[in-house]
Amino acid sequence: QAATSYVGRYYPTVLASATTTTTVVVTTQMLKNTGLLPASFSETNSYGQQYQAMIVRNQQNQELLQGMVVSRGGHAMPFTALNQISKDITAGFGGYVEDGQTAVGAMRSWRIALSSYGTSTGRGHLAVLLSTDDLSGAREDGDRLYRFQVNGSPDLNKMHTAIDMGGNNLNNAGTVAAQNGNFGVSLVSNGPVTAGGDIRSTGGWIVTRSGKGWMDETHGGGFYMSDNDWVRSVNNKGIYTGGQLKGGSVRSDSDLAAGGILKLDQVNVAGTWCPQNGAISHDSTGGILSCQSGRWGGIDSYPVGSPIPWPSTTPPPGYFLMAGQRFPCGSYPQLARAYPGCVLPDLRGVFIRGLDNGRGFDSGRAVLSYQADQSDMVYNPGGALKGHHSGMAHYYHSDNREVRPKNIAFNYIVKAG
């Protein structure tokens, strides 16, 4: 017991001196000098044998010590005495030496070569095995994790194996410095979490609350949500990509500029229904269309209702020939404002001289055909004009032929609106 207490008291010193093959010897006199044995304690037993403890490092864990106490010199003890004494030893594991080279435990429970402790002794001597648990347990620090700093003994505040908290908490820690962290449920922090590398999620989301999101601290940009509808840019930063931005719809509250051309995929037909006035589209030939009064129409300089000369018998889509026909007022409200009766003028064969187109005033004409001027006036000496040309003889028609200038025949069309 005294040898165990000595090693426990001077554990760091003994550990520093011992190796797995270098033995630290503890004598009876050393134990008396340190007060672990009384000064009157005899250094020999009744057989004249002296006791020594040999301490070495453990082969498997060299941060721990183990030892062997053997008796030396004197007379050999009979086996009966060795066997009985070894069974009565309670401090350590009692044993004896049979052949001078091997220590044997009581009831032959263990066998250890004395050479592993750098010693030997004669047959008929006692041996006591001091295990690593015995010596570690005798340390003044109790081989436990010390709660306070001990100057010069940092090992007292050091764990040498994993610690199992058994599901209990670790409370009121300051800074936790570790290589890795593995949490089975959750990690909660009431302050910032700083990572020197990436933050990864292997199967979940990066979730924020209270209108917060992600922000780059250096440049002050990022994304967040402050309502249930919009993902917003922190500090109204712009979003830049060399790729595409794609969405169900894109809205600009200010100007829209494009560094290239504007491409419209949808094709519409002039004169058909459109959803919102002012919308822009194009027809199958690429002509620009705009939504006007609920109808797709081409972009031109003619207002709705103005007669337009047209060099064909077929008007383009979205236009009517001006042939005296009715049109539905509700379908063409702009045209109805120009012609309240919802009837177009018949410009066929009259001036603005439209193509006769079967009406009978100027028959035989074709679109773009030329017609020379003609006068059917004859001199009438029997009468005189009054007014500005007072007294001048006047002319009159001699038949039903009309007087006309030179002209080219066009159809007249009007924008349907």
Domain boundary among 79, 105, 137: 137
Q: Which domain holds residue 404?
A: 302-417
164 is a domain residue: no
pLDDT value of residue 219: 95
From CA 102, how far away is CA 34, in angstroms rounded?
30
Give Cα separations from 5 to 13, 22, 212, 256, 270 (angstroms). 14, 21, 62, 88, 107
Residues 345, 271 share a domain: no
Say yes or no: 273 and 324 in one domain.
Answer: no
Check whether residue 377 and residue 286 sit in a common domain: no
Per-residue confidence (pLDDT) for residue 180, from 0 to 100: 85
Are residues 291 and 318 both part of a single domain? Answer: no
375 and 345 in a common domain: yes
In a domain, 358, yes or no: yes
- Which of 283, 294, 389, 289 lies closest to 333 in space, CA to CA? 294
DSSP 231-269: -EEGGG-----SS----S----SS----SS------B--
Task: Check whether residue 341 and residue 330 sit in a common domain.
Answer: yes
Instruction: List, edge to edge, every strand of the sheet that includes 221-224.
Output: 214-216, 221-224, 232-233
Whether residues 278 and 356 fall in one domain? no
pLDDT for position 414 = 93
Q: Which of 65, 55, 53 is nearest to 126 (CA)?
A: 53
pLDDT of residue 182: 83
Q: What pLDDT score does 237 carry?
A: 95
Buried b / exposed e over 138-164, threshold 16 CB at 10 Å, is: bbebebeeeeeeeeeeeebeeeeeeee
* Residue 201: inside a domain: no
- Note whether residue 86 is domain-resident: yes
Domain count within the chain: 3
Domain endpoint, select from 299, 321, 356 = 299
**Alpha carbon separation from 197 to 24, 176, 193, 222, 398 (Å, rounded):** 49, 18, 12, 19, 108
**Is residue 120 domain-shared with residue 18, that is, in the same domain?**
yes
The token pair at 77 is 């003890």
**Residue 257 located in a structural domain:** no
Q: Residue 408 sits in a domain of what CATH number? A: 3.90.1340.10
70 domain-assigned: yes
In terms of DSSP H, where are the helices of 247-378?
333-338
Is residue 68 one of the residues assigned to a domain? yes
pLDDT of residue 303: 81
Residue at a domain's end among 253, 270, 299? 299
Euclidean distance between CA atoms 97 and 126, whole angstroms:
6
Instruction: Specify whether 274 is located in the same domain as 377.
Output: no
One domain, residues 106 and 53? yes
For 23, 39, 130, the CA distances from 20, given in Å and listed in that order, are: 8, 32, 15
Position 132 scores a pLDDT of 87
Strand partners, 273: 295
Q: Is residue 228 situated within a structural domain? A: no
Residues of the chain with pLDDT under 70: 140-146, 150-153, 300-301, 368, 373-403
What pLDDT does residue 192 have?
Answer: 86
Taking only the tens place, the pLDDT of each residue in 11-40 is 888 999 999 999 999 999 999 998 888 999
State the CB neighbour count (10 A cutoff) for residue 417: 24
- Which residue has 């200010």 as its token pair? 254
Show the tokens assigned to 175.
């800074």
379 and 313 in a single domain? The answer is yes
> Quick one: 317 and 348 in the same domain?
yes
Q: DSSP character for 341?
A: T
